[in-house]
Amino acid sequence: MMSRDEARDFTNRWLPKWTGNRPEELIAFYADDAFFLDPGRPAGIKGKDALFTYFTNVLSHNPTWVWTQVEPIPLEEGFMNKLEARIPVGDKIVECVGLCFLQFNDEGKIKRNEIYFDRTELIREINKYRQSFAH
């Protein structure tokens, strides 16, 4: 089990890779057979190649979003992160809180990563933003 300090240290290296559209740096943290799940892919994604394709897409659409760790919670084979996100949509910033579950293989690579957060406000703002161009 990781300590809170180890979880915080890992997150300080990994979480910034979610900002700035650098999928090749983010994917380096994941095992070849990693499983990933988030609200955009509720059935999940299996394997590093498919995950790289997904990261390339999602990061290119959100290059300036920022995820920040609030609290690490140690668990067997990994930890859970309570996170805050600041996601730009047009001239508005959508803020949300989420939970991120991480498990690691013997080499220290992420083997399972599940992210949960309420996308209601984000989807509403994206729809408003898109409608502003439709008129």
Reading the block at residue 105, the tokens are 């293989």
Q: In whole angstroms, what is the distance from residue 24 CA to residue 133 CA?
A: 32
Q: Residue 80, CB half-sphere, CA atoms under 13 Å: how many? A: 8
Place of tokens 């599940």: 114
Per-residue pLDDT of the chain (135 residues; tens, 9 = 90+): 789 999 999 999 999 999 999 999 999 999 999 999 999 899 999 999 999 999 999 999 999 999 999 999 999 999 999 999 999 998 999 999 999 999 999 999 999 999 999 888 889 999 998 888 876
The single residue listed with the structure tokens 């299996």 is 46
Distance CA 21, CA 133 (A): 25
Calpha distance 67→87 (Å, rounded): 9
Supply 76's token pair: 């067997």
Q: Which domains does the chain have, with CATH numbers?
A: 4-134 (3.10.450.50)
